[in-house]
Amino acid sequence: MEINLNKKSSTEALIKVSVKKADYQPEVEKKVKDYAKKASVKGFRPGKVPPGLINKMYGKSILVEEVNNLVSKNLSEYIREQKLQVLGNPLPDKSMATIDWDTQEDFEFEYNIGFVNEVYYDLSKKQKVKKYSIDIDDKTLEKTLVDIKKRFGTDIEADTSESGDLLEVDIHSEDGQIDNKEVSFPVDAVEKKEQKKFIGLKRGDEVSFDLKKTFSDVDIIKTLTGIHDDNAGEIKGKFTLKVNGVKRRKEAEMDQALFDQVFGKDAVKDEKEFNAKVTETIQANYDKETETFFNHSIRKQLLASTSIELPDNFLKEWLKVDQENVTDEDIEREYDGYAESLKWSLITEKIIADKEIKVEYDEVKEKARSMFVQQFGGEEAIAGFKDSLDPVVDNYLQGENGKNYRTIYEQVMGEKTFELIKGEITISEKKVKLDEFTKVVEKENA
């Protein structure tokens, strides 16, 4: 057997595998004899079927199977020996469609492959990434407290509507196509320019309005019209509603009952402790947001500073073969995102190998355990059955034929890789207000 590599570019090549009869014939003859021993053919005793008859009946399929196995095995070994970092899988060249299995004794197989060369990354103090932290000011705390008091408040009947109220209405279109009863919507869902019409309404009042001008939220339109298909956002025309009632959210009192509802019985004792706990919770949530954005910034920086040439043409062809029902337009639209993710995988795989980052089973188990603890409501919530959690975690990690374990494993590996990267680069920290951080994120995603 002979294998030759013909590079078409720095990232694509054609591999030609030449197979002679002597390469596969011994294994084919052995397989024919095995079939003859086991085959059940009318007119012959078991084990006495002539190999010539077996060859006539099954010879072609045996030949195809053995040649393909031989080529696949040797192709994989060749790629490994040549240390080619192949992406995707080798794609059979169109010329292979001309093989005549009935008459040919020697065969040539050609495969297109795509690969990348050595990945060189710069993981040093030269890499500078900004890390933001959000400063919780009085304005943010006060807004959060108002939201909490509303969320744990009670609904009361109001005489006339105000901003923030909920209107309970019957609604119908002037063309008579839509007549929907006993629906509700918040006054604040009305577009600002039209909101004046919906302020000061009381039970029995009627309002005529243009649906398209008044509401932009498709979910609100679906609720009002009772039409829940994808075309709801296209509904137009004049509508009239009749007010059945006005509901207003009465804020909860800042007392022990509220403290217990939010954080659990006696977790905080007074308003000062409550505000501190709320601030701590806000900070934890914002820290998750800023950490996610920080990781995104690291990824972007390393991608920008690492030159990786991909076999784009090959990968686009391979994606069409690998994925069902995908069109050329789909590939072109999504390829840039796919290529970026692939480059990041190549960089992190190289870092993991170079830095010998490893993940032990106990680390995976602890990550899975923390996931379950969070789902059950925290350490306090599981205090009564903490000892029973280990078997649950073990069963989960063994489930889905190991898929669950692999998912958690990759999460832990990703976290450890980012932690290592953070220890190698230069990090400049900046404390900002929420509005400023939001603008930074919006600019980044624009």
109-135 pLDDT tens trace: 999 999 999 999 999 999 999 999 999
Architecture of domain 2-116: 2-Layer Sandwich (3.30)
154-250 CATH choice from 3.10.50.30, 3.40.50.2300, 3.90.190.20, 3.40.50.10210: 3.10.50.30
Which residues in the chain come in under a pLDDT of 70?
Answer: 45, 95-96, 380-381, 383-384, 386
pLDDT score of 374: 83
How far is residue 211's CA from residue 14's CA, in Å, rounded to a whole number? 61
Question: Does the CA dihedral 286-289-292-297 come out positive or negative?
Answer: negative
For helices 403-424 and 389-398, give the axis angle rounded to 10 degrees: 100
Q: Nearest 5°: phi and psi at 293? A: -70, -35
| Same fold? 2-116, 154-250 | no
10 Å Cβ neighbour count for 435? Answer: 12
For helices 271-305 and 256-263, give the axis angle rounded to 10 degrees: 30
Q: At the top level of CATH, which class does the domain 270-445 belong to?
A: mainly alpha
What is the pTM assigned to this prediction?
A: 0.78
Q: Nearest 5°: phi and psi at 346? A: -65, -40
Strands 107-116 and 206-210: unpaired
pLDDT score of 386: 66
Are 417 and 409 in contact by the 8 Å Cβ rule? The answer is no
pLDDT score of 33: 84
298-323 pLDDT tens trace: 999 999 999 999 999 999 999 999 98
pLDDT score of 95: 66
253-276 pLDDT tens trace: 999 999 999 998 888 999 999 999
pLDDT score of 391: 87
pLDDT score of 39: 73
- Domain ranges in the chain are 2-116, 154-250, 270-445
